[in-house]
Amino acid sequence: MTSPSPAAMPARTVLITGAARRLGREMALHLARSGWQVAVHCHNSLAEAEQTARDCHAINGLEHRVLRTDLNDESATRALLSQAVALFGQVDAVVNNASLFEHDAADSFSYERMVQHLRSNTGAPIVLAQALHAHACARQAPAGAAVVVNLLDQKLWNPNPDFLSYTLSKAALEAANTLLAQALAPHVRVVGVAPGLTLTSHMLSQDKFEQLHQLSPLGRSSTPQDVAATVRFALDNASITGTTLLVDGGQHLRRFERDFSLM
Ligand SMILES: NC(=O)c1ccc[n+]([C@@H]2O[C@H](COP(=O)([O-])OP(=O)(O)OC[C@H]3O[C@@H](n4cnc5c(N)ncnc54)[C@H](OP(=O)(O)O)[C@@H]3O)[C@@H](O)[C@H]2O)c1
Protein backbone atom coordinates (compact mmCIF):
# COMPACT_ATOMS: atom_id res chain seq x y z
CA MET A 1 0.00 0.00 0.00
CA THR A 2 1.43 3.41 -0.91
CA SER A 3 1.13 6.40 1.41
CA PRO A 4 -0.82 9.40 0.11
CA SER A 5 1.20 12.15 -1.60
CA PRO A 6 1.60 15.35 0.49
CA ALA A 7 -0.73 17.15 -1.95
CA ALA A 8 -3.48 14.59 -1.24
CA MET A 9 -3.10 14.77 2.54
CA PRO A 10 -5.65 16.97 4.36
CA ALA A 11 -4.26 20.18 5.87
CA ARG A 12 -3.65 20.09 9.60
CA THR A 13 -5.85 22.45 11.59
CA VAL A 14 -4.74 24.63 14.48
CA LEU A 15 -6.86 26.68 16.85
CA ILE A 16 -4.89 29.78 17.89
CA THR A 17 -6.41 31.80 20.71
CA GLY A 18 -6.08 35.58 20.52
CA ALA A 19 -5.03 35.36 16.85
CA ALA A 20 -6.58 38.62 15.64
CA ARG A 21 -3.61 40.81 16.44
CA ARG A 22 0.02 40.95 17.50
CA LEU A 23 1.81 37.64 18.18
CA GLY A 24 -1.24 35.45 17.59
CA ARG A 25 -1.76 36.95 14.13
CA GLU A 26 1.94 36.44 13.32
CA MET A 27 1.60 32.75 14.31
CA ALA A 28 -1.52 32.37 12.14
CA LEU A 29 0.23 33.82 9.08
CA HIS A 30 3.38 31.79 9.70
CA LEU A 31 1.46 28.53 10.07
CA ALA A 32 -0.67 29.31 7.01
CA ARG A 33 2.60 29.63 5.05
CA SER A 34 3.41 26.08 6.25
CA GLY A 35 0.08 24.77 4.94
CA TRP A 36 -1.94 24.82 8.19
CA GLN A 37 -5.62 25.66 8.30
CA VAL A 38 -6.27 28.13 11.11
CA ALA A 39 -9.20 28.60 13.46
CA VAL A 40 -8.64 32.26 14.35
CA HIS A 41 -9.97 32.81 17.85
CA CYS A 42 -10.68 36.31 19.13
CA HIS A 43 -12.69 38.09 21.78
CA ASN A 44 -13.04 41.84 21.16
CA SER A 45 -11.01 42.15 17.94
CA LEU A 46 -13.53 40.61 15.54
CA ALA A 47 -12.71 42.79 12.49
CA GLU A 48 -8.98 42.15 12.92
CA ALA A 49 -9.63 38.41 13.30
CA GLU A 50 -11.60 38.36 10.05
CA GLN A 51 -8.70 40.16 8.38
CA THR A 52 -6.26 37.56 9.75
CA ALA A 53 -8.46 34.77 8.34
CA ARG A 54 -8.58 36.51 4.93
CA ASP A 55 -4.81 37.01 4.95
CA CYS A 56 -4.28 33.32 5.78
CA HIS A 57 -6.57 32.43 2.87
CA ALA A 58 -4.54 34.65 0.52
CA ILE A 59 -1.41 32.75 1.64
CA ASN A 60 -2.50 29.14 1.15
CA GLY A 61 -5.97 29.17 -0.42
CA LEU A 62 -7.57 27.23 2.47
CA GLU A 63 -10.71 28.27 4.35
CA HIS A 64 -9.76 29.79 7.71
CA ARG A 65 -12.56 30.59 10.13
CA VAL A 66 -13.05 32.99 13.03
CA LEU A 67 -14.36 31.88 16.42
CA ARG A 68 -15.25 34.44 19.06
CA THR A 69 -15.20 33.48 22.73
CA ASP A 70 -14.56 35.14 26.06
CA LEU A 71 -12.05 32.77 27.65
CA ASN A 72 -13.16 33.99 31.08
CA ASP A 73 -16.37 32.10 30.46
CA GLU A 74 -15.74 28.44 31.26
CA SER A 75 -18.73 26.97 29.46
CA ALA A 76 -18.04 29.03 26.32
CA THR A 77 -14.39 27.95 26.44
CA ARG A 78 -15.49 24.31 26.84
CA ALA A 79 -17.55 24.67 23.64
CA LEU A 80 -14.76 26.32 21.61
CA LEU A 81 -12.87 23.24 20.44
CA SER A 82 -16.03 21.39 19.41
CA GLN A 83 -17.08 24.48 17.42
CA ALA A 84 -13.75 24.31 15.58
CA VAL A 85 -14.22 20.55 15.00
CA ALA A 86 -17.70 21.22 13.61
CA LEU A 87 -16.23 23.74 11.15
CA PHE A 88 -13.12 21.82 10.08
CA GLY A 89 -13.89 18.14 10.74
CA GLN A 90 -10.91 17.75 13.06
CA VAL A 91 -8.43 19.84 15.03
CA ASP A 92 -4.80 18.79 15.35
CA ALA A 93 -3.38 21.48 17.59
CA VAL A 94 -4.20 24.30 19.99
CA VAL A 95 -1.93 27.30 20.54
CA ASN A 96 -2.85 28.93 23.85
CA ASN A 97 -1.69 32.43 23.00
CA ALA A 98 -4.48 34.71 24.34
CA SER A 99 -3.56 36.36 27.57
CA LEU A 100 -4.65 39.05 30.00
CA PHE A 101 -1.80 41.38 31.01
CA GLU A 102 -3.02 43.86 33.62
CA HIS A 103 -0.72 45.47 36.10
CA ASP A 104 -0.78 44.71 39.82
CA ALA A 105 1.85 44.24 42.49
CA ALA A 106 2.11 43.15 46.12
CA ASP A 107 0.48 46.38 47.33
CA SER A 108 -2.44 46.30 44.89
CA PHE A 109 -3.11 42.55 44.71
CA SER A 110 -6.70 41.37 45.05
CA TYR A 111 -8.47 38.03 44.74
CA GLU A 112 -10.50 39.51 41.91
CA ARG A 113 -7.47 40.53 39.82
CA MET A 114 -5.78 37.18 40.44
CA VAL A 115 -8.85 35.11 39.51
CA GLN A 116 -9.38 37.16 36.34
CA HIS A 117 -5.85 36.30 35.17
CA LEU A 118 -6.11 32.67 36.26
CA ARG A 119 -9.33 32.16 34.31
CA SER A 120 -8.11 33.35 30.91
CA ASN A 121 -4.38 32.63 31.20
CA THR A 122 -4.43 29.27 33.03
CA GLY A 123 -7.93 27.78 33.19
CA ALA A 124 -8.74 28.31 29.51
CA PRO A 125 -5.50 26.70 28.23
CA ILE A 126 -6.12 23.68 30.48
CA VAL A 127 -9.75 23.31 29.36
CA LEU A 128 -8.67 23.53 25.71
CA ALA A 129 -5.94 20.89 26.28
CA GLN A 130 -8.53 18.67 27.96
CA ALA A 131 -10.88 19.11 24.98
CA LEU A 132 -8.11 18.42 22.43
CA HIS A 133 -7.23 15.23 24.33
CA ALA A 134 -10.85 14.02 24.28
CA HIS A 135 -11.05 14.81 20.55
CA ALA A 136 -7.71 13.04 19.79
CA CYS A 137 -8.86 9.94 21.72
CA ALA A 138 -12.27 9.93 20.00
CA ARG A 139 -10.70 10.04 16.54
CA GLN A 140 -7.90 7.64 17.53
CA ALA A 141 -5.17 10.07 16.51
CA PRO A 142 -1.68 8.55 16.40
CA ALA A 143 0.52 9.09 19.47
CA GLY A 144 1.83 12.64 19.69
CA ALA A 145 -0.12 13.79 16.62
CA ALA A 146 -2.19 16.24 18.66
CA VAL A 147 -0.27 19.14 20.19
CA VAL A 148 -0.87 21.95 22.67
CA VAL A 149 1.49 24.92 22.71
CA ASN A 150 1.29 27.20 25.75
CA LEU A 151 2.66 30.73 25.47
CA LEU A 152 4.64 31.50 28.62
CA ASP A 153 7.09 34.33 29.38
CA GLN A 154 10.84 34.59 30.01
CA LYS A 155 10.06 36.44 33.24
CA LEU A 156 9.21 33.10 34.90
CA TRP A 157 12.93 32.31 34.73
CA ASN A 158 13.96 35.87 35.68
CA PRO A 159 11.30 37.07 38.12
CA ASN A 160 10.52 40.61 39.19
CA PRO A 161 7.62 41.73 41.40
CA ASP A 162 5.63 43.59 38.71
CA PHE A 163 2.47 42.15 37.14
CA LEU A 164 2.00 39.84 40.10
CA SER A 165 -1.30 38.21 39.03
CA TYR A 166 -0.18 37.83 35.40
CA THR A 167 3.07 36.20 36.55
CA LEU A 168 1.23 33.84 38.91
CA SER A 169 -1.12 32.81 36.09
CA LYS A 170 1.80 32.06 33.77
CA ALA A 171 3.71 30.24 36.55
CA ALA A 172 0.65 28.04 37.07
CA LEU A 173 0.45 27.44 33.32
CA GLU A 174 4.13 26.46 33.27
CA ALA A 175 3.41 23.88 36.00
CA ALA A 176 0.35 22.71 34.05
CA ASN A 177 2.56 22.34 30.96
CA THR A 178 4.45 19.54 32.76
CA LEU A 179 1.41 17.97 34.42
CA LEU A 180 -0.61 17.92 31.22
CA ALA A 181 2.28 16.45 29.23
CA GLN A 182 2.31 13.60 31.73
CA ALA A 183 -1.45 13.16 31.92
CA LEU A 184 -2.34 13.53 28.24
CA ALA A 185 0.44 11.37 26.72
CA PRO A 186 0.63 9.54 24.42
CA HIS A 187 -2.24 11.20 22.56
CA VAL A 188 -1.28 14.83 23.12
CA ARG A 189 2.10 16.56 23.33
CA VAL A 190 2.28 19.73 25.45
CA VAL A 191 5.01 22.29 24.82
CA GLY A 192 5.70 25.72 26.29
CA VAL A 193 7.10 28.63 24.27
CA ALA A 194 8.41 31.53 26.36
CA PRO A 195 9.13 34.79 24.49
CA GLY A 196 11.21 37.65 25.81
CA LEU A 197 10.21 41.25 25.16
CA THR A 198 8.83 40.94 21.61
CA LEU A 199 6.22 43.64 21.05
CA THR A 200 5.74 46.96 22.74
CA SER A 201 2.76 47.70 24.97
CA HIS A 202 0.67 50.78 25.68
CA MET A 203 3.04 51.41 28.60
CA LEU A 204 6.21 51.80 26.46
CA SER A 205 7.20 54.31 23.78
CA GLN A 206 8.69 52.86 20.59
CA ASP A 207 12.10 54.38 21.42
CA LYS A 208 12.12 52.86 24.89
CA PHE A 209 10.96 49.51 23.51
CA GLU A 210 13.83 49.43 21.00
CA GLN A 211 16.32 50.27 23.74
CA LEU A 212 14.99 47.53 26.05
CA HIS A 213 14.82 45.00 23.20
CA GLN A 214 18.62 45.17 23.01
CA LEU A 215 19.06 44.34 26.71
CA SER A 216 19.99 40.69 26.39
CA PRO A 217 23.16 38.64 26.11
CA LEU A 218 22.61 38.37 22.35
CA GLY A 219 21.93 42.10 21.96
CA ARG A 220 18.38 41.45 20.77
CA SER A 221 15.32 39.85 22.27
CA SER A 222 12.78 37.86 20.23
CA THR A 223 10.95 39.05 17.13
CA PRO A 224 7.36 37.96 16.35
CA GLN A 225 8.84 35.84 13.53
CA ASP A 226 11.19 34.08 15.99
CA VAL A 227 8.25 33.26 18.27
CA ALA A 228 6.04 32.04 15.41
CA ALA A 229 8.85 29.86 14.02
CA THR A 230 9.33 28.30 17.46
CA VAL A 231 5.61 27.54 17.74
CA ARG A 232 5.82 25.83 14.37
CA PHE A 233 8.88 23.85 15.51
CA ALA A 234 7.00 22.73 18.63
CA LEU A 235 4.03 21.65 16.50
CA ASP A 236 6.20 19.69 14.07
CA ASN A 237 8.74 18.01 16.35
CA ALA A 238 7.17 14.70 17.37
CA SER A 239 9.61 14.05 20.23
CA ILE A 240 9.11 17.24 22.27
CA THR A 241 6.70 17.30 25.20
CA GLY A 242 6.63 18.57 28.79
CA THR A 243 9.24 21.25 28.29
CA THR A 244 9.53 24.92 27.35
CA LEU A 245 11.54 26.62 24.63
CA LEU A 246 12.74 30.07 25.67
CA VAL A 247 12.90 32.47 22.71
CA ASP A 248 14.32 35.64 24.20
CA GLY A 249 17.89 36.32 23.06
CA GLY A 250 18.92 35.06 26.51
CA GLN A 251 17.01 37.76 28.46
CA HIS A 252 16.20 35.21 31.15
CA LEU A 253 19.94 35.02 31.89
CA ARG A 254 20.04 38.69 32.94
CA ARG A 255 18.62 40.11 36.14
CA PHE A 256 15.96 42.82 35.73
CA GLU A 257 14.55 44.51 38.85
CA ARG A 258 11.33 45.63 37.13
CA ASP A 259 9.10 44.49 34.31
CA PHE A 260 10.15 45.97 30.94
CA SER A 261 6.88 47.93 30.80
CA LEU A 262 7.94 49.83 33.93
CA MET A 263 11.65 50.31 33.22
N1 LIG B 1 4.28 40.63 23.56
C2 LIG B 1 5.38 40.26 24.21
O3 LIG B 1 6.44 40.93 24.14
C4 LIG B 1 5.35 38.99 25.04
C5 LIG B 1 6.43 38.73 25.91
C6 LIG B 1 6.39 37.56 26.67
C7 LIG B 1 5.33 36.69 26.57
N8 LIG B 1 4.30 36.97 25.72
C9 LIG B 1 3.16 36.05 25.65
O10 LIG B 1 2.84 35.82 24.29
C11 LIG B 1 1.43 35.78 24.11
C12 LIG B 1 0.97 36.81 23.07
O13 LIG B 1 1.43 38.10 23.46
P14 LIG B 1 0.71 39.42 22.90
O15 LIG B 1 1.46 40.57 23.44
O16 LIG B 1 0.51 39.31 21.44
O17 LIG B 1 -0.70 39.28 23.64
P18 LIG B 1 -1.81 40.42 23.91
O19 LIG B 1 -1.82 41.36 22.76
O20 LIG B 1 -1.61 41.02 25.26
O21 LIG B 1 -3.15 39.53 23.97
C22 LIG B 1 -3.47 38.67 22.89
C23 LIG B 1 -4.96 38.52 22.80
O24 LIG B 1 -5.48 37.86 23.95
C25 LIG B 1 -6.88 37.99 23.84
N26 LIG B 1 -7.55 37.88 25.14
C27 LIG B 1 -7.25 38.50 26.30
N28 LIG B 1 -8.18 38.19 27.23
C29 LIG B 1 -9.08 37.37 26.64
C30 LIG B 1 -10.28 36.74 27.04
N31 LIG B 1 -10.79 36.88 28.29
N32 LIG B 1 -10.94 35.97 26.15
C33 LIG B 1 -10.49 35.82 24.91
N34 LIG B 1 -9.36 36.40 24.44
C35 LIG B 1 -8.68 37.18 25.29
C36 LIG B 1 -7.15 39.35 23.18
O37 LIG B 1 -8.04 39.11 22.08
P38 LIG B 1 -9.04 40.25 21.50
O39 LIG B 1 -8.14 41.37 21.04
O40 LIG B 1 -9.76 39.58 20.38
O41 LIG B 1 -9.94 40.66 22.63
C42 LIG B 1 -5.76 39.80 22.73
O43 LIG B 1 -5.73 40.37 21.43
C44 LIG B 1 0.80 35.99 25.49
O45 LIG B 1 0.45 34.74 26.05
C46 LIG B 1 1.91 36.66 26.29
O47 LIG B 1 1.84 36.38 27.66
C48 LIG B 1 4.28 38.12 24.97
- Give the whole-angstrom CA distance, residue 7 versus residue 9: 6
**Does the C-beta of 43 come closer than 6 Å to ligand 1?**
yes
pTM, rounded to two decimals: 0.96
Q: Calculate what percentage of the chain has a pLDDT beyond 70.
A: 97
Higher-confidence position of 80 and 144: 80
Residue 9 phi/psi, 5-degree rounding, is -75, 140
Contact 130, 189 (CB under 8 A): no
138-191 confidence digits (pLDDT tens)? 999 999 999 999 999 999 999 999 999 999 999 999 999 999 999 999 999 999
**Contact partners, residue 77, CB within 8 Å, separation at least 6:** 69, 71, 123, 124, 127, 128
Contact 19, 25 (CB under 8 A): yes
Give the residue, by CA position, lying nearest to ligand 1 atom 42. 18
Contact 98, 17 (CB under 8 A): yes
Q: Ligand 1 centre and the CA of 185: distance in Å?
A: 27
- CATH superfamily of the 11-262 domain: NAD(P)-binding Rossmann-like Domain (3.40.50.720)
